Amino acid sequence: MSENKAILSRAFLVFVPLALLAVLIFTKLLSIQFIEGEALRERAQKEVVREMNIPAERGNIYSSDGKLLATSVPVYNLHFDPVTVEEDLFFEEVSALSKSLAAKFKDRTWASWKNELIKARNQDQRYFPIGKDLSYLDLQEIKSFPIFNAGRFKGGLIIEQENYRKMPLGKIAERTIGRERKSFATGLEGAYSAYLKGKDGKRLKQKIGNQNWKPLNDQNEEEPENGLDLICTIDSRMQDIVHNALLSSLETYQADHGCAVLMDVKTGAIKAISNLGITKNGTYFEKRNYAVWESTEPGSTFKLAAVLALFEDGYADLNTPVDTENGIYEYKSSLIKDSNGKGYGKTNLREAFEKSSNVGIAKTIIDHYANQPQKFIDRLYSIGLHQSLDLAIKGEGKPRIPKTSDADWSAISLPWISFGYQVSFTPMQLLTFYNAVANDGIMVKPRFLEEIQSHGRSVEKIETEVLNPAICSPETLEKLQILLKGVVQDGTAQSGKYSICGLAGKTGTCQLNYWKQGTKDYQASFAGYFPTDNPQYSCIVVVNKPQGSYYGSTVAFPVFKTIAENIYRNSPQEVNTAPANSFTSLSAGDIQIIDPEKLKAMPNLKGRNGYQVLSELENAGFKVRISGNGKVQWQYPSAGTELSTEQLIELKLG
């Protein structure tokens, strides 16, 4: 009896857990069927069928002269569902299909293709890869192959389109056009991505194993909306001129990198921009957007801002005497030197600027601002030079003009700032300043975009934005323009004196690592505009770490000159011819012989025959710079100004 009880006890111990387990299983089945069932079925459906994004076609980017700069090119990935194909059709045509595929792709024999296609059908493989990244022409050819030509429902061919970005004109302005990736975006592609990308569509796809997804049908659930097109400011012809001129200089001097930017004076439109850096094998490519990104000490091109301050505050004029001594000046135990090693002796502010005398500019600044340095800084701030341009293209380097309260301000900061050290700007920021001088004192924001379009229809036109309506007074502006023309006529850029178009600007040479011992590196630059009579374009050229020569006059200015002359030569010009009697028949009012013995003050020459006046002034011992034809419309100095025989007189005729 006790033995039977023991057996029953053990049976009970086994039965009870099994019974409880059965109850739990049954309860779970009821729960799945009636409570969780719908949610689980939906989850299962999502695991095998999903609504996936269909990328919209990205908009195109065009140059201002209608050239296609960036576009989306479709490529096709093809797969095959052999199970969809009727059995008779499949086995009748599989050999012919295999031969066509072998002839097209040449990566395997037709027998290999046939074996794999049959194997895929037998194994119920419904997403067999045929080809990847194929062109539209490839697609049309493959659609004509046996079996595939039965149509999209019976032929089993699965077509999936992707787009990749292509630049039809090659590397032209590559950094400015930019790229968009998942993790970053650059240039116009990044700045205006919201317009370019459009709106993605939706399509149902079914999972068929190994993370492969097959479209459930040939139609999208929601069609994508293609992106808008951008018309940028770049002119492809001008871009080619700028690129090749810069490249030639970089190759000649084996520079580390450089940039050149061409801007429309009135609108701020960037007509060309080239950024080139050297590779390990000595070739150049668009490495970084140096014009927008790289903020460096500019050197002598900043002297224009220094003399602007002097003129605006009433401390100096073009003829203010300056003693450059022997080209070396000691200030607060620091030596300021002129690049020629000997200075220019006793001269005036005009010649000191034209010859780019560090001593001449620094001494004049010290004379008037040594006891009030913040006034000089405030004047620079009033121009707007301390502010970023807030360009559409991201990555702009920050400008810097130190204040007297800054930690790095020292006793020698004032003179060093006057010739372009201890301040920093990007080429684009400095060009914006020079462009304002060419644009009657109006500082406009550089822009890269003209218009946004949809299928050729204008959606939005980009207007010119004024940053500062007047960087200085008209009187100061006139003097600045005279100085910049003088640099080319009589100063450091005299190689452009007889250019086919009037050139104006300033050379710059900056030592990059002056605080270090050993080999020195330099930056050569030139900023200016052309033509001088009616400025159309401003331009800056910056060449970093050239080998051999490193002066702005020999490395950067020739690039500027080449750009200006090529663009001027290829642009329609307004012909201004003088009347036939301009030089032979003078009216009574023109017969006013200038007596050099009595000429102590500048006479009023307006309305007189220009070439008679030129002859008389030169006979009187004056240097004269003249532009145009006909009668005097403008003169410098103004009537009544005291004259000396060292005075340079400027006349504009019309």
Q: What would the 3-class secondary structure string for 603-618 be? A: CCCCCCEHHHHHHHHH
Range of the domain at 105: 52-232
Distance CA 526, CA 541 (A): 5
Mean of the pLDDT values across residues 623-628?
73
Mean of the pLDDT values across residues 434-458?
95
Mean of the pLDDT values across residues 312-323?
96
250 in the same domain as 198:
no
228 in the same domain as 241:
no
503 in the same domain as 615:
no
Q: Is 201 helix (H, G, I), strand (E, B) or coil?
A: strand
Select the more confidently predicted residue: 456 or 311. 311
Backbone angles phi, psi at 198, to 5 degrees: 70, -155
291 in the same domain as 207:
no
What's the CA angle centered on 62, arms 58 and 65, to 5 degrees? 170
Least confident residue range of 41-55, 110-124, 473-487, 580-594: 580-594
Residue among 73, 149, 144, 75 nearest 104 (CA): 144
What's the CA angle centered on 652, arms 263 and 605, to 5 degrees? 155
Burial track 200-209 (b if 16+ CB lie within 10 A, e otherwise): ebebebeebe
Classify residue 443 by its DSSP letter: E
Note whether 160 and 77 are within 8 A (CB): yes
- Write the CB contacts of 298 (distance below 8 Å, at least 6 apart in sequence): 420, 423, 424, 425, 430, 508, 510, 525
248 in the same domain as 205:
no
Burial track 383-408 (b if 16+ CB lie within 10 A, e otherwise): bbbbeebebbbeebbebebbeeeeee
Cα–Cα separations (whole angstroms), residue 483 to 262, 396, 444: 21, 30, 22
Measured on CA atoms in the order 547, 548, 552, 557, is the torsion positive or negative? Answer: negative
CATH classification of the domain holding 189 = 3.90.1310.10
- Write the CB contacts of 279 (distance below 8 Å, at least 6 apart in sequence): 285, 287
What string of DSSP letters covers 584-607? T---GGG-----TTT--B----TT
Cα–Cα separations (whole angstroms), residue 233 to 262, 371, 568: 11, 46, 18
Distance CA 615, CA 582 (A): 14
What residue spans of 340-460 are helical by DSSP H? 349-354, 358-369, 373-383, 413-418, 427-438
Q: What is the pLDDT of residue 503?
A: 97
pLDDT at 576 over 50: no
Note whether 524 and 555 are within 8 A (CB): yes
Report residue 247 as tokens.
């490249």
516 in the same domain as 609:
no
Q: Is residue 23 part of a domain?
A: no
Cβ atoms within 10 Å, residue 378: 14
pLDDT at 140 over 60: yes
**In which band, very low, low, confident or very high, does the pLDDT at 208 lie, cut at 50, 70 and 90?**
low
Backbone angles phi, psi at 624, to 5 degrees: -130, 135
Report residue 90 as tokens.
């499949």
Q: What is the pLDDT of residue 583?
A: 30
Q: Is residue 8 part of a domain?
A: no
Write down the mean pLDDT value for the chain.
85
pLDDT at 164 over 60: yes
Residue among 12, 89, 47, 358 nearest 207 (CA): 47
Share of the chain above pLDDT 90, in %: 58
- Write the CB contacts of 163 (distance below 8 Å, at least 6 apart in sequence): 55, 57, 58, 72, 73, 74, 75
Report residue 304 as tokens.
């224009």
Q: Is residue 631 part of a domain?
A: yes
- Terminal C-alpha separation, the chain: 138
What's the CA angle centered on 95, arms 91 and 99, to 5 degrees? 155
Structure confidence by residue, pLDDT tens digits, 57-78: 889 999 999 999 988 888 899 9
Classify residue 269 by its DSSP letter: B
Tell me which of 203, 232, 261 is where a domain ends. Answer: 232
Residue among 501, 628, 536 nearest 576 (CA): 628
Select the more confidently predicted residue: 183 or 342. 342
Mean of the pLDDT values across residues 351-360?
96
β-pairing, 229-232 vs 61-62, is: parallel
Distance CA 275, CA 177 (A): 12
Distance CA 353, CA 367 (A): 16
Q: Is residue 10 part of a domain?
A: no
Tell me which of 181, 207, 232 is where a domain ends. Answer: 232
322 in the same domain as 204:
no
Report residue 98 as tokens.
């295999």
CATH classification of the domain holding 520 = 3.40.710.10
Beta strands in 462-546 (DSSP E): 466-468, 504-511, 522-530, 537-544
Tell me which of 207, 232, 257 is where a domain ends. Answer: 232
Q: Which residue carries 């910056």 as its tokens?
A: 542
Ramachandran sector of residue 126 (left: φ over 0; alpha: ψ -120 to 50; beta: rest): alpha
pLDDT at 168 over 60: yes
Note whether 500 and 487 are within 8 A (CB): no
CATH classification of the domain holding 625 = 3.30.10.20
pLDDT at 207 over 70: no
Distance CA 404, CA 549 (A): 35
- Write the CB contacts of 113 (distance below 8 Å, at least 6 apart in sequence): 97, 98, 99, 101, 102
Q: Is residue 5 part of a domain?
A: no
274 in the same domain as 221:
no
Q: Is residue 15 part of a domain?
A: no
Structure confidence by residue, pLDDT tens digits, 87-124: 999 999 999 999 999 999 998 999 999 999 999 999 98
pLDDT at 181 over 80: no
332 in the same domain as 427:
yes
Burial track 15-51 (b if 16+ CB lie within 10 A, e otherwise): eeeeeeeeeeeeeeeeeeeeeeeeeeeeeeeeeeeee
257 in the same domain as 202:
no
Q: What is the pLDDT of residue 595?
A: 53
Distance CA 359, CA 357 (A): 5
Least confident residue range of 52-56, 296-300, 648-652: 52-56
Q: Is residue 327 part of a domain?
A: yes
Domain count, the chain: 3
Mean of the pLDDT values across residues 146-174?
85
261 in the same domain as 218:
no
614 in the same domain as 546:
no
Give the predicted TM-score (pTM) of the model.
Answer: 0.75
